[in-house]
Amino acid sequence: MKFASADVTRYYNANTKSFLARGQGGSHGAIHRAVWGAGVRSRREAFHFVHRLLRREMTIVRASKVLDLGCGTGVSLAAVVEGSDAVAYGVTNSSVHARLARERLGERATIYERDFCSESLPRGIDIAFGIESFVHAPDP
- Name the DSSP class of 28: G
Calpha distance 25→45 (Å, rounded): 11
* Contacts of the segment 62-65: beta carbons below 8 A, 24+ positions apart: 62/126, 63/126, 63/127, 64/126, 65/89, 65/122, 65/124, 65/125, 65/126, 65/127
Q: In angstroms, how far is CA 4 from the centroid of its own chain?
A: 20
Q: What share of the chain is helix, strand, coil (3-state, %, to 5)?
A: 45, 15, 40
Q: Are the beta carbons of 73 and 99 closer than 8 angstroms?
A: no
Calpha distance 19→24 (Å, rounded): 8
Q: Which pLDDT value is given to residue 34?
A: 83
Instruction: Per-residue pLDDT tens, the chain, 140 aa: give them.
Output: 667 888 877 877 788 788 777 776 667 677 778 889 999 999 889 988 999 999 999 888 898 999 999 999 999 999 999 999 999 999 999 999 999 999 999 999 999 999 888 888 999 999 999 988 877 777 76
